[in-house]
């Protein structure tokens, strides 16, 4: 008798799960299905789990394919189970290709093609729907989005769009996802929501087109280069009744929310100053360094350093000053922004060609918060006081590279689970677009000055 084993969460049981189990059963005579516990899913970084374990087991049972259902509750259990049950074949969907190759020393490992397109009509009724997401732009971030998305319950990445055929083909070869190169409308027809990860200058256009077509939008920063554009997009989203979210991933990290809550709790007294720094030396040939119109350090990292200021001091800044150091191409390799409020101030430093200490320091009348690099992934921060021995340490949970938290928030908002927006409000995003607009004007002025100096 040939024994097959497969594992999964099987949350919001759908066609993709059904087909996987059907084909798993066809690989042998006896199918064992391991259903994960909430605790194990939490430990392996799955977010957004909806159904309790009893429901998930019941849904697997109802398919009739499982000869035996077991519980998976710890790392390393797969090897134990394979030996314990005398398993011949381990199988799982192709979204895990390569991941379980280490099991080949114990049995055959088969990756079955995952179901790319889960039609929403076949999803069970109820409050939660599997959100079908399409990716616009298949550059560097798209594969990261894809690998993080598989840890978020309730969504399925169905397809991608990139008008550039080479890039589309490379992505398709790597991921198996259908990639549209010409027909944007057809791409939109396939999905309920889009994630925009295309070049910066195309974000506004794609966000507008997707919203107009009635799709929810998660857009990489910057969503827009001007305050007005940003306002118009949020207005359009409201009119269409769709979710629009700017993908400033720090805003959605549980640790960052905790840091802001601690700062506002009174522990450090009245908050007077925020200093935030984010630098990452980029490849000299990269878009960030070379593209003097839409690259540069502020467009890359500005949103991260603006976020804590806007969260803590609000959207009503009184004065903004921006200084940039430009490279030969006229691009800002380093930018500093000073933001003044009625009774507080903030500084942000960002660089793609200058390296600095990536700290976040929030200073108050009774103490300060220090979050060292990478504070934008918020895994660790301290509350410090005058007495140097008085240090409170916080180590919030953080799994993956942060993208799954924003995908989770996006999915929950689409399903109306979280109607109250507080992680990054439209007003906050619009206020950040206002500073981005000032930066863009300032950089163009500096570029002009530089050209004039060179001419003289």
The binding site for ligand C2G (CB under 6 A) comprises 6-11, 16-17, 20, 36, 72, 92-93, 95-96, 114-115, 118, 156
- Work out how close the CB of 7 gets to ligand C2G at its nearest, in angstroms, rounded to a whole number: 4
Nearer to ligand C2G, 36 or 436 (CB): 36
Nearer to ligand C2G, 133 or 277 (CB): 133
Q: Where are the alpha helices (DSSP H) in 415-456?
A: 426-455
Instruction: Look at phi and psi of residue 277 and say left if phi exceeds 0, alpha if psi is from -120 to 50, else beta.
Output: beta
Nearer to ligand C2G, 38 or 201 (CB): 38
Count other C-beta atoms under 10 Å from residue 315's C-beta. 13
- Work out how close the CB of 253 gets to ligand C2G at its nearest, in angstroms, rounded to a whole number: 21
- Work out how close the CB of 93 gets to ligand C2G at its nearest, in angstroms, rounded to a whole number: 2
Nearer to ligand C2G, 151 or 301 (CB): 151
Count other C-beta atoms under 10 Å from residue 232's C-beta. 15
- Work out how close the CB of 350 gets to ligand C2G at its nearest, in angstroms, rounded to a whole number: 36
For 69-98, b where at least 16 C-beta lie within 10 A, e where not — what string?
ebebbeeebbeebbeeeebbbbbbbbbbee
- Work out how close the CB of 221 gets to ligand C2G at its nearest, in angstroms, rounded to a whole number: 28
For 190-226, b where at least 16 C-beta lie within 10 A, e where not — what string?
bbbbbbbbbebeebbebbbbbbebebbbbbbbbbbbb
Per the DSSP assignment, residues forming a β-bridge with 337 are: 322, 348
The candidate with the shortest Cα–Cα distance to 217, out of 209, 207, 227, is 207
The candidate with the shortest Cα–Cα distance to 412, out of 143, 52, 50, 135, is 50
**What does DSSP assign to residue 103?**
G
Nearer to ligand C2G, 192 or 437 (CB): 192
Nearer to ligand C2G, 10 or 405 (CB): 10
Sheet containing 193-196: which strands, arranged edge to edge?
179-180, 155-161, 131-136, 193-196, 216-220, 244-247
Return all residues near 336 (Cβ < 8 A) that are at least 6 apart: 322, 323, 324, 347, 348, 349
Nearer to ligand C2G, 24 or 346 (CB): 24
- Work out how close the CB of 116 gets to ligand C2G at its nearest, in angstroms, rounded to a whole number: 7
Joined tokens for residue 456: 């003289």
- Work out how close the CB of 277 gets to ligand C2G at its nearest, in angstroms, rounded to a whole number: 36
**What does DSSP assign to residue 152?**
B
Nearer to ligand C2G, 93 or 302 (CB): 93
Residue with nearest beta carbon to ligand C2G: 93
The candidate with the shortest Cα–Cα distance to 91, out of 147, 36, 31, 41, is 31
- Work out how close the CB of 215 gets to ligand C2G at its nearest, in angstroms, rounded to a whole number: 19
Nearer to ligand C2G, 158 or 229 (CB): 158
- Work out how close the CB of 110 gets to ligand C2G at its nearest, in angstroms, rounded to a whole number: 11
Give the CA radius of gyration of the chain.
Answer: 24
């Amino acid at each position: 008798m040939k024994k097959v084993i497969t594992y999964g969460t099987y949350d919001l049981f759908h066609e993709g799960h059904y087909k996987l189990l059907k084909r798993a059963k066809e690989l042998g005579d006896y199918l064992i299905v391991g259903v994960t516990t909430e605790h194990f899913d939490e430990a392996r970084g799955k977010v957004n789990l909806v159904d309790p374990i009893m429901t998930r087991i019941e849904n697997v049972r109802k398919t009739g394919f499982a000869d035996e259902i077991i519980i998976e509750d710890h790392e390393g259990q797969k090897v134990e189970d394979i030996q314990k049950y005398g398993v011949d074949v381990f199988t799982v969907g192709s979204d895990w290709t390569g991941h379980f190759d280490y099991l080949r020393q114990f049995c055959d490992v088969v990756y079955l093609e995952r179901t790319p397109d889960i039609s929403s009509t076949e999803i069970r009724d109820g409050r939660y729907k599997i959100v079908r997401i399409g990716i616009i732009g298949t550059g560097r971030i798209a594969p990261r989005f894809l690998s993080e998305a598989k840890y978020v319950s309730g969504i399925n990445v169905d397809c991608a769009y990139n008008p550039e055929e080479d890039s589309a083909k490379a992505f398709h070869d790597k991921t198996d996802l259908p990639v549209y190169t010409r027909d944007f409308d057809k791409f939109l027809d396939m999905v309920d929501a889009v994630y925009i990860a295309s070049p910066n200058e195309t974000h506004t256009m794609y966000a507008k087109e997707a919203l107009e077509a009635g799709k929810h939008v998660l857009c990489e920063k910057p969503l827009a280069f001007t305050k007005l554009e940003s306002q118009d997009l949020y207005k359009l989203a409201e009119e269409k009744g769709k979710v629009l979210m700017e993908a400033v991933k720090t805003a959605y990290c549980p640790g960052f929310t905790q840091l802001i809550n601690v700062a506002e709790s009174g522990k450090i007294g009245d908050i007077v100053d925020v200093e935030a720094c984010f630098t990452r030396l980029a490849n000299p040939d990269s878009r960030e360094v070379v593209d003097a119109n839409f690259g540069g350090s502020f467009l890359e990292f500005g949103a991260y350093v603006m976020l804590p200021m806007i969260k803590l001091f609000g959207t009503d800044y009184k004065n903004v000053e921006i200084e940039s150091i430009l490279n030969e191409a006229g691009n800002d390799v380093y930018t500093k922004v000073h933001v003044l409020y009625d009774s507080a101030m903030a500084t942000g430093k960002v660089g793609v060609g200058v390296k600095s200490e990536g700290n976040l320091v929030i200073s108050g009348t009774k103490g300060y918060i220090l979050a060292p690099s990478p504070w934008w992934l918020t895994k660790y921060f301290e509350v410090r006081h005058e007495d140097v021995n008085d240090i409170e340490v916080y180590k919030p949970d953080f799994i993956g590279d942060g993208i799954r938290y924003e995908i989770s928030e996006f999915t929950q908002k689409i399903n109306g689970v979280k109607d109250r927006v507080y992680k990054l409000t439209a007003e906050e995003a619009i206020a950040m677009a206002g500073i981005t607009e000032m930066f863009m004007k300032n950089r163009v002025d500096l570029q002009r000055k530089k050209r004039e100096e060179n001419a003289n």
